[in-house]
Structure 1
């Protein structure tokens, strides 16, 4: 069972599980994007059971969980800027919703829950450091946004409620900067930079570099993220572990913009202030992912950006109307 399986990451996980003939149930409110975007994710083309509903609806959640051996909890109000603007909504989805999921999983027959956490829990790391920082799972966590706080709370709560002898196991995955087709940005967001920059370039808008683009990200392709998540469901060594899911390679926002602009010769750049809650960033220590999941990413940033641009060329209707209205 996948909560939030109607989104970008959840739908890729569902697709991969379907390929290995797992019986998949998706629980999603389907309100994070307009219908045309959800159609791009292709969930309706998969052999999965789709249940439209909220993880806070306990009776519904209990029914959907009834036959699940494994659970991926990916449902969240998953946008840094939106969580900052609407902390009450973030609390309802990411805290109260997660608490409901954990209580019901603890009482279910499920063998393991994999939680989609975020590298946002690291914040900007040690501010005294210079240069790109390598984030390891054991270092102190300094979240600087509502979204990051909600993810860190969920990590602690998972450890409190799951993992007891005889009960469901858990694995926490800290996703770094996920990108890749068919990703579509949201209004007012400053996340999902590959999609943002590529779509701006396509419609002739300047490529916006918040804070000058010096922030560092570890860009990990959504197909790689889905593979790591499925492995975390079944790898024995992953039980009770927190694992980074990234490439282990730092890339600046400006460098991503340059890779995008290479495909759009007329592209221009504009520098804007860095928004609140936008971390300076860093890159993943991937030692645990390699050792515990036996997983390494297949996509590098250059190839992943080129793939996204090709997809956008082949799928021009993916550019949302609100963005084209600004061109």
Structure 2
């Protein structure tokens, strides 16, 4: 096992002197719209914003997961107004943005494999939908829009460097997939439409690999490796190490992701900035399997081919997030994986039917 796992706690500093929830008091009574707020991150973010005293409206198609998954996410209990709709519906977006103070744009066709299979859907959601959100945010004079982007824009990083790479915000980008291309376009378009003289500020957050309960995998996907590996091990299936599991990820717990995203709405230095949201610690897919295996005696791994568009990956340079967000991730990978396994053991019905039926 690499030092990336054993040293997970050492590289993560304690919370900022001023706790995040105290800083988020600035959002009390503010109107915040979260597109895509029905997903794993969105529901956690929405609940956090509600605790801070914001009035939150979620716009989501609610079709990315089966109903059972949304029940696990607890979307209905976040305290937000839920509007079932599509970001490509300009009339709906305009109505929700009217009078809004802030927007978090998290809605996307957010799956590398699915975007590769259906680039037409990816274009519709991630490009056309984002364009509508940006235009309507500017027209409504929203104070600040936070765009959720992805570390996938880095691809494998500098092709001349061997081994795990640290990704910094200003380096050359090498997107390897339709999904990554759509996220990079969204970043450029956000800067174009909301930069300069726009009354609406923007901030861009590049998520690294999000994980944490109650995450559930989607069929035909190769993302969400903690959920994938843990559920396979629990069912007695081999843990699939695509490409041998040498890919490196910067695993960020969903609670940390939600906190950083909320802070991007209110930190003054974030205006017009792009920051990584990661731990700054590399963890390989094989490392994760080795953390999960002791919980399920007899579990084993099998090496499978690396899917197209699946980057070798890297980990976040966190200097800018520490400076501009005044934030650092708090949950080490070992703790986060243990939390997930405990939750999965206590919630066996969380395993999707399509996966459990594969061993029937």
Work out whether the TM-score is over 0.5: yes
Question: Following the alignment from structure 2 to structure 1, what is the Cα–Cα distance between the partners of residues 185 and 200?
Answer: 19
Question: Following the alignment from structure 1 to structure 2, what is the Cα–Cα distance between the partners of residues 58 and 134?
Answer: 39
With normalisation by structure 2, the TM-score equals 0.90
TM-fit CA distance, 1:313: 1.2
TM-fit CA distance, 1:38: 0.6
With normalisation by structure 1, the TM-score equals 0.99
| Equivalent residue, structure 2, for 1:298 | 330
The superposition leaves residues 167-217 of structure 1 with CA deviations (integer Å, 9 ceiling, x where unpaired) of 100001000000001100000000000000001111111000000000000
How many pairs does the alignment contain?
A: 327
> Would you say 1:242 and 2:288 are equivalent positions?
no
Of 79, 82, 85, the residue aligned with 1:50 is 82
Contact 2:144–2:201 (8 Å) recurs in 1 = yes
3-state SS of paired residue (1:113): strand
Following superposition of structure 1 onto structure 2, how do residues 241-260 of structure 1 map, counting pairs within 5 Å? 241-260=273-292
| Equivalent residue, structure 2, for 1:287 | 319
| Equivalent residue, structure 1, for 2:112 | 80
Unpaired runs of at least 5, structure 1: none
| Equivalent residue, structure 1, for 2:212 | 180
Unpaired runs of at least 5, structure 2: 1-32
Following superposition of structure 1 onto structure 2, how do residues 257-268 of structure 1 map, counting pairs within 5 Å? 257-268=289-300
Question: Following the alignment from structure 2 to structure 1, what is the Cα–Cα distance between the partners of residues 253 and 173?
Answer: 24
| Equivalent residue, structure 2, for 1:217 | 249
Question: Following the alignment from structure 1 to structure 2, what is the Cα–Cα distance between the partners of residues 178 and 73?
Answer: 17
Following superposition of structure 1 onto structure 2, how do residues 1-327 of structure 1 map, counting pairs within 5 Å? 1-165=33-197, 167-327=199-359
Distance 1:294 1:59, change over 3 A: same
TM-fit CA distance, 1:319: 0.3
The superposition leaves residues 40-89 of structure 1 with CA deviations (integer Å, 9 ceiling, x where unpaired) of 11011122100000000000110011121010000000000000000000
TM-fit CA distance, 1:130: 1.3
Distance 1:166 1:271, change over 3 A: closer
TM-fit CA distance, 1:147: 0.2
TM-fit CA distance, 1:156: 0.2
Alignment root-mean-square deviation, CA: 0.7
TM-fit CA distance, 1:109: 2.8
